A and B are shown apart, each in its own frame.
Chain A
């Protein structure tokens, strides 16, 4: 650049340019803040949408019924064959004696969930002496009633378009004023499996499915990942084989997860014949998927152990293996565990490969082992997003809240461990 008059440090041109330069700086800074703001705004928007639509699922409307367990309802030896539905109906009719006609009765019966009969059945099976007695219990209300109480049904719509009819509305109000209708904590959501009735649906079977799947994943991927990392970081000679492994690991870390699902379908299910929809096959697929993450984290952790430790050990005569296992590994272990927890969190949220291996079935029973059919939490979310009942939208969001809760917990543990065991060399 030619030194001219205008480059004089105090000329008006210079000041103008300086101003322009500072303006550019300011606007760039604003853009940066804007970018961060947009990203965080989206995060807040997403989380608040889900919280807003999901928190209500932790409450559930209950109705108090006075039931009389007459002997006539139990004609059979087998108590499970008793007419529990009849007991519930009789109780409802006694509360609203004016109800007559089939349509009207059906509308009345539709206020109470099918779960009421199941609840009575469980009580009677646990204590057969209840037969012949009268008592009052709180039973879950039907999902439509629940939706009404949570303000999700617009009563201004014409009657034909509503799931709750005028007569039902009247009766719900009567129950409410009589103190027979209450919002309570929804325990069912945490203690039962999937159900076609939104008010009975729970996440326990999916959560247990996820748990079993993750146990398999952890047991396989942690030892294998650590072993592979130790080999690559401490022992591997600089040759083609090592290069091949390294390239493979780096590539696998970025291979789309659905490809692992294809692998599971073709090899684990079709070739090895492992049963579909089980935590075993899910765990195997997720192991292969998380292995690269764990290996990479474990290697970074080994790398951070200073060479002086190794040299000191080797200097006093330890063998290479002794050095690694007695001195390097204990120092690197916290970092490895942190990486593993993050890998597990990833595996917990993964859905796509599980769709390929049949973990999208309707599972009510709570899986009791690694070879029982099971769903997983994220898959349950996917399935509920697809159910016709409106109340499931709320359950889907609630399941998402639970899933996010687990993830936050796992990450918090990882962060805590990193802080606690961090060694400054």
Chain B
């Protein structure tokens, strides 16, 4: 009889599962995108979920590039409503979106983030220029009128003023917006200051300053910024590339390198003095607003002063707020759901 009892219990349990209605509909917001914006978006989402009747949005951290790719795949419940990005959407991505029927995208700039090169507090802080960084990390560097694979092994080889430690930089993979921003703000700026004389224009044209070394000096460490922090702590010679918020949270164990004479502090980045800072965004599908419950309210929460203002809770998490005028303008855009123009 024991067995029969078990069978009956199992059948009943299966029956209850099967008869619970299968929801094919989605009643929560689906968000993907940048791992840099992830900590900020999750804070807003949590606040939103706790203070409204809507469900807390589901947020997956996929990297800016990966997020925009998912976002632009189409309109409909199977596709995310919002994607976070630590760089502006590219023209090619916008075209892909349009090709997939996503006509109106609302662009919301939420604030700024500094990109820092940090090392362990056990070592001395580095004083770098963008040229130094370029020479240390570029795949090919100009030398004696030719482009050669990067020969530098230590920082001292790059610039005699720097210590003779091995070049070892932990940084993000190409799916990451931080990588894009780093290439744009550091590598492409740094190459301008390098002596390119003697190199033919033809070679120069083909030269990609954004290509990073693949011989072990630049270590692609994934989207997991926290593990990078742990690893820096363990390895005082290594530098890590990540967003300011991680430096801010871990200021007792790691320190930011001084770049072009400016140290990465909240004030310096907010004032625009620190050279390597980039805006953070998120993108919303206008077609989804009004059909997926809660999007408009989520946007309102994000664009409120108590969230993204200078005294807001996002600043506490290490996001650098926009100047007042810019904030007001974007808050208006959010309210009116003003779609962005084609680039």
The interface of chain A, by Cβ under 8 A from chain B, is 80-81, 85, 102, 106, 110, 114, 118, 121, 153-154, 157, 160-163, 195-197, 215-216, 219, 222-223, 277, 325, 329-330, 333, 358, 360-365, 369-371, 373, 385-390
The CA-CA distance from A121 to B53 in the complex, in Å, is 13
Contacts A85-B306, A160-B251, A163-B251: A223 and B10 contacting too (C-beta < 8 A)? Answer: yes
Task: Report chain A residues within 8 Å CB of B60.
Answer: 277, 358, 360-362
User: A329's closest neighbor in chain B, by CB?
Assistant: B3
B39 touches A196 (CB 8 A): yes
Interface flag for B45 (CB, 8 Å): yes
Complex Cα spacing A329 to B6, Å: 12
Chain B residues in 8 Å Cβ range of A121: 50-51
Whether A364 lies near B226 (C-beta < 8 A) is: no
Q: B126 near A: Cβ within 8 Å?
A: no
Residues of B whose CB lies within 8 Å of any CB of A are 2-3, 7, 10, 13-14, 17, 20, 22-23, 28, 38-39, 42-43, 45-47, 49-52, 55-56, 58-61, 121, 224-227, 229, 245-246, 249-252, 306, 311, 313, 316-317
Top 4 closest A-B pairs, CB basis?
A: A364-B56, A388-B249, A362-B59, A196-B43
Do the beta carbons of A388 and B10 come within 8 Å of each other? no
Quick check: B20 and A369 within 8 Å, CB to CB? Answer: yes
Alpha-carbon gap, A85 to B306, bound state (A): 10
Flag if B39 contacts A161 (CB, 8 Å): no
Whether A361 contacts B251 by the Cβ 8 Å rule is no
Q: Apart from A157-B252, A361-B58, A386-B227, what are 10 other A-B pairs with CB-CB below 8 Å?
A: A121-B51, A196-B42, A197-B43, A219-B13, A219-B14, A362-B58, A364-B45, A364-B46, A364-B49, A390-B250
- Residue from the set B13, B51, B121 with the largest chain A CB neighbour count within 10 Å: B51
Q: List 14 A-B contacts (CB under 8 A).
A: A110-B316, A162-B252, A163-B252, A196-B317, A197-B43, A219-B17, A223-B7, A362-B38, A362-B58, A364-B56, A371-B23, A385-B227, A387-B39, A388-B250
The interface centre, meaning the residue of A196, A325, A361 with most chain B CB atoms within 10 A of its CB, is: A196
Q: Decide yes or no: A370 and B249 within 8 Å by CB, A364-B45, A388-B225 being known contacts.
A: no
Interchain CA distance A338-B59 in the complex, whole Å:
38
Query: Is B2 a contact of A385 with CB atoms below 8 Å?
Result: no
Q: Are A222 and B56 in contact (CB under 8 A)?
A: no
With A80-B52, A161-B121 already in contact, the answer to whether A333 and B2 are too (CB < 8 A) is yes
Q: Closest CB of chain A to B46's CB: distance in Å?
A: 5
The answer to whether A387 touches B226, judged by C-beta atoms less than 8 angstroms apart, is yes
CB–CB B10/A222 < 8 A: yes
| A84: nearest chain-B partner, CB-CB | B51
Contact B250 A373 (CB under 8 A): no
Residue from A215, A222, A371 having most chain B Cβ neighbours under 10 A: A371
CB-defined contacts of A196 to chain B, threshold 8 Å? 39, 42-43, 46, 317
In the complex, A360 Cα to B229 Cα: how many Å? Answer: 21
- Chain B: minimal CB distance from A354 (Å): 13
Shortest CB-to-CB span from B58 to chain A, Å, is 5
Contact B246 A388 (CB under 8 A): yes
Instruction: Identify which of B17, B58, B246, B313 contacts A277 (C-beta below 8 A).
Output: B58
- Chain A residue contacts of B252, Cβ below 8 A: 153-154, 157, 161-163
The residue of chain B having its C-beta at the shortest distance from the C-beta of A212 within the complex is: B17
Contact (A330, B59) CB under 8 Å given A160-B251, A362-B42: no
